[in-house]
Amino acid sequence: MTCAFAPNGQSVACGGLDSACSIFNLNSQADRDGNIPVSRILTGHKGYVSSCQYVPDQETRLITSSGDQTCVLWDVTTGQRISIFGGEFPSGHTADVLSLSINSSNTNMFVSGSCDATVRLWDIRIASRAVRTYHGHEGDINSVKFFPDGQRFGTGSDDGTCRLFDMRTGHQLQVYSREPDRNDNELPTVTSIAFSISGRLLFAGYSNGDCYVWDTLLAEVVLNLGNLQNSHEGRISCLGLSSDGSALCTGSWDKNLKIWAFSGHRKIV
Position 266 pLDDT exceeds 90: no
Which domains does the chain possess?
Answer: 2-261 (2.130.10.10)
pLDDT for the residue 146? 98
Position 53 pLDDT exceeds 90: yes
pLDDT for the residue 269? 43
Give the global pTM.
0.93
Task: Please name the helix (run of DSSP H) or strand (run of DSSP E) that holds residue 179, with its range, or none.
Answer: none
| Backbone angles phi and psi of 227, in degrees to 5 | -90, -10
165-224 pLDDT, tens digit each: 999 999 999 999 987 766 667 889 999 999 999 999 999 999 999 999 999 999 999 999
